[in-house]
Amino acid sequence: MTDRPNLADRIDAILPQTQCEQCGYHGCRPYAEAIARGEAGINQCPPGGAAGIAQLAALLQRPILPLDPGHGSEKPRMLARIVEADCIGCTKCIQACPVDAIVGASKLMHTVLADDCTGCELCVPACPVDCIVLEPMPPAQIDAAHADAARAHFRRREARLARWHAEREAELAARKAALDTPPSVNRADQQPSGARNAVQEALERARNRRLHPPD
């Protein structure tokens, strides 16, 4: 038996899942949770536009509001495309993409997986050589199926980054612990005190014989 969707789930289902952060939150889910807590307005999502605001208002039984211009303006959704001849393989767009829609490797050409692109445009300012252009998104790509896929990609990426961060923190903690550990005790210092005294006495006798040779 599945759990009934809570309010944040129902709000998140309305949001376009662009993960563009124009709302002021790190992705659609955090924004949905903020709306559910009463900490964010329903009019902070430019990709959702007036239609999205109307749906949220109906769900929450609130007045319909105009889009807050402080978060951007409503406009057609766009797809990113990399001008591959100009790409320098810096990976900055890959790091910026919230849904892993860009593939490539360091110093190798990158490309956008058009079917996975949400039109968030976060890759555009990240590119140091301006080799990313925006083209109109096909209407067929703006539907619930693509939104569900984008949500899944975002969650998978966030989980991966959290795992990498935890592993990095553990590695740094292990290195710090190794630096803070006192150096190993010299084996000679680990000898019983009686053995150290016997060795010291033998050395003293040898030195005395050198200083005072027998007649």
Burial label, 149 (beta-carbon count in 10 A; 0-12, 13-18, 19+): middle
Higher pLDDT, 15 or 187: 15
- CATH architecture label of 7-71: Orthogonal Bundle (1.10)
* 3-21 tens-digit pLDDT: 667 999 999 999 999 999 9
* Mean residue pLDDT across the chain: 90
Would the pLDDT of 192 be above 80? no
In this prediction, residues 162-186 reach a mean pLDDT of 84
Residue 115 to residue 96: CA distance in whole angstroms = 17
Specify the amino acid at residue 50. Answer: A
Higher pLDDT, 207 or 27: 27
* 70-115 tens-digit pLDDT: 999 999 999 999 999 999 999 999 999 999 999 999 999 999 999 9
Dihedral angle over CA of 140, 100, 30, 72, nearest 10: -60
Would the pLDDT of 150 be above 80? yes
Would the pLDDT of 210 be above 70? no
Class of domain 77-179: alpha beta
Percent of the chain's residues with pLDDT above 70: 86
Residue 70 to residue 23: CA distance in whole angstroms = 9
Q: What is the Cβ-side half-sphere exposure of residue 99, based on CA atoms within 13 angstroms?
A: 28
Query: Structural domain boundaries of the chain?
Result: 7-71, 77-179
pLDDT category of residue 1 using cuts at 50, 70 and 90:
very low
User: Using H for helix, E for strand and C for coil, what is the string for the chain?
Assistant: CCCCCCHHHHHHHHCCCCCCCCCCCCCHHHHHHHHHCCCCCCCCCCCCHHHHHHHHHHHHCCCCCCCCHHHCCCCCCEEEEECHHHCCCCCHHHHHCCCCCEECCCCCCCEECCCCCCCCCCHHHHCCCCCEEEEECCHHHCCHHHHHHHHHHHHHHHHHHHHHHHHHHHHHHHHHHHHHCCCCCCHHHHCCHHHHHHHHHHHHHHHHHHHCCCC
Kindly report the number of other CB atoms within 10 A of residue 17's CB atom: 27
* 26-68 tens-digit pLDDT: 999 999 999 999 999 999 999 999 999 999 999 999 999 999 9
